[in-house]
Amino acid sequence: MKLEITENQPLADRIRPSDLVEFIGQSHIMNRIDAIRQSHRMPSLLLFGPPGCGKSTLALLLAKNSGKPFIRLSAPEAGLTALRKKLPGNNILVLDELHRFSKSQQDFFLPILESGEITMIASTTENPSYSVTRQLLSRLHVLRLRPLSRDELAKVAARGAQELGLDIPEESQRFLATMAGGDARTLLNLLEYASELPADKLDVESLRQTLPDVVIRGDRDGDSHYELASAMIKSIRGSDPDAAVYYMTSLLESGEDPRFVSRRLIISASEDIGLGNPQALSMAVACHQAVETVGMPEGGIIMAETAVYLALSPKSNSTYSAYRNTQKEIRENGAQPVPLHLRNASTALHREWGYGRGYLYPHNFPKAWADQEYLPSSLSTRSFYHAKDQGEEPKLNAWLRQFRKQNR
């Protein structure tokens, strides 16, 4: 049965499917959905995915399919007091944006789910591993939904155009689908905007000039934020300048703070490039300072230069590994005492105790190298830094290897 349509109802609600046969997308979980529908008792579910992928629609369809009384609420609007009053008489709770409930508020659901008093079909755009308590998560079957593909969005656009009575070229529908970035709600909003334009403005080029800027979905607290940042870093690490700039620009176009992006570039310059090209860190720091001074949008040009430079640089993670190795040693065994000959003899008592005794001042020796032990005696045979044979690092290590070979 179709939902009643009101005059001011958004297009997304007007064409919301009333049966799973009409549902578009998420083919990868449809076998599981069919099994859930046919089960004797529907389990509580958590639908996790980006905005506009069909979470709420799927939840409503499953609730209706059950044939049991249900209620739909949104976490930002429903306090626990109001929720307690509305639950009696309903077997199923369709709850949007579960992550908006605090961890302590989520505990409210534990006993009623455990007892079977209510079946919950919740949705969230945030990774449930971080946004939902472990206790509640253990009581929910998690289904991960994906952004809609361009072909799937094109089907949504065709359905929306038919509802609006809009005669829009197929290539223009596909253009809008591309702009929507996997989000059906954004697509339908764009389609409604296009429906107000003259017929001669519905070709792709006119739409490109006329439609409002579409900001790529960027949730600073959600997965997309970290996925884009991770992809940028991994593209730099993998020496792919095209991908590095693409993900860097995606972050900026999503509304990300440019300072966050430039700080990621600084980290990459040290972690992934390191002594392979020691100048990379200087360039990344200069990039961060330049972005602070110049601002946006011109700061994007500076970050693009830096991202490409980092991607093209020889890579070495030897200093990153050295830090991790020493960190592991200290956390497992504690920091060992500094050898007496390396301690500063700042008082007479220190000198009496042997502080600084036997220390060899390197600048008094040829090439400023003295053959003495620096690590604590218990670690004298350990090696935490392992040089890589890439970029500038072999040159930096060549003179040291020569001295060590002569004295051992």
Helix/strand/coil (H, E, C) string of 124-179?
Answer: ECCCHHHHCCHHHHCCCEEEECCCCCHHHHHHHHHHHHHHHCCCCCHHHHHHHHHH
| pTM higher than 0.75 | no
Note the pLDDT of residue 60. Answer: 93
Note the pLDDT of residue 223. Answer: 52
* Grouped pLDDT means (10 residues each) for the chain, 408 residues: 54 88 92 88 91 92 91 80 83 90 88 89 89 91 91 91 90 86 88 88 85 52 68 94 92 84 95 94 96 90 96 94 92 88 88 89 86 87 87 82 67
d(CA 113, CA 133): 14
Note the pLDDT of residue 225. Answer: 62
> Which residues contact residue 3 at a Cβ distance below 8 angstroms, ignoring those fewer than 6 apart?
13, 16, 18
For the chain, domains (ranges, CATH) are 26-144 (3.40.50.300), 340-406 (1.10.3710)
Note the pLDDT of residue 18. Answer: 87
Contact 259, 300 (CB under 8 A): no
